[in-house]
Amino acid sequence: MALLTVLCYPDPRLHQVAKPVAQVDARIKKIVADMADTMYEAPGVGLAATQVDIHERIVVIDVSDEQNELRVFINPEITWASPEKKSWREGCLSVPEFYDEVERPAQIRVKALDLEGKEFEIEADGLLAVCLQHELDHLQGKVFVEYLSLLKRNRISQKMKKRAKELVGQR
C-alpha cells in the first residue's frame, strides 16, 4: 500500500490536462491500487490521477456506504448527458473542508476501460453521476471551485494559500 500526496488547490498542476492511457499494464494497475488506497485513507469517494500529480486519464470511485465497491475508469469519456440538471453539494480532496453547490447534468453515460483494458459503458445518476463528472473535470484540468463565483473562488484560494504557509511553518 502506497499513499500518494494529494495536490491542493490552487496548485497549478491541478490545471494540467491528463493524457490518455496508452496501455493498461502493471504500471497502471499499481497506480490504480495506490490511488484507491489514497482515496479510502483520505477518506473520499473519488480521486482522479491529476490530483496525485499523475497526468493520465485514470479515475477511481467508490460511492458505496461500506466503501467496498471500487470502480475504476481508465480513459473515461462522457458520451451523453441529460438536459435535466441537478444541484449537489460538492467537496474535493484537493480543496479540503470547502463545500458548495454545483449544478450538473442529472444523468450521464460514460464509456471507459476497466483494469483489464476492456471497454465498458455505464449510465449513472445521483451521487455516482456527480462524482464521475467531478473527477472527469479534474482530468480536464478543472477544479469544482471554478463553477463558483469569482469572489468565492478567490476567497477559497486565499484560505488554501494561507493554510499551506501555516503547514510549512509548523515543520
State the sign of the Cα–Cα–Cα–Cα dihedral 38, 40, 43, 44. positive
Has residue 3 been placed in a domain? no
Distance CA 140, CA 156 (A): 20
Per-residue pLDDT band at 60 (split at 50, 70, 90): very high
Percent of the residues in the chain that have a pLDDT greater than 70, as a whole number: 99
- The pLDDT value recorded for residue 171 is 65
Q: Is residue 5 part of a domain?
A: no
Q: What is the mean pLDDT of residues 18-34?
A: 98
Positions marked catalytic: 135
**15 in a known ligand binding site:** no
2 domain residue, yes or no: no
Does 4 reside within a domain?
A: no
The mean per-residue pLDDT over the stretch 119-123 comes to 98
How far apart are the C-alpha atoms of 3 and 5, rounded to whole Å? 7
Residues 16-27: what's their mean pLDDT? Answer: 98
Q: Is residue 129 part of a domain?
A: yes
**DSSP H or E segment with residue 89:** strand 85-92
Comparing CA positions, the residue from 54, 45, 44 lying closest to residue 16 is 54
Cell numbers describing residue 134:
467531478
If one counts the domains in the chain, the total is: 1
Quick one: average pLDDT of 24-33? Answer: 98
Q: What CATH number does residue 126 fall under?
A: 3.90.45.10
User: Is residue 92 a known part of a binding site?
Assistant: yes
- Work out the mean pLDDT of the chain and round it to a whole number: 96
29, HSE (Cβ side, Cα atoms, 13 Å): 6
State pLDDT tens for residues 145-157.
999 999 999 999 9
1 part of a folded domain: no
CA distance 30 to 27: 5
166 is a domain residue:
yes
If 0-12 CB within 10 Å is exposed, 13-18 middle and 19+ buried, where does residue 134 land?
buried
In whole angstroms, what is the distance from residue 121 CA to residue 139 CA?
A: 18
Least confident range of 11-20, 51-60, 159-168: 159-168
What range defines the domain where residue 19 resides? Answer: 12-170
In the block, residue with C-alpha cell 456506504 = 65
7 within a domain of the structure (yes/no): no
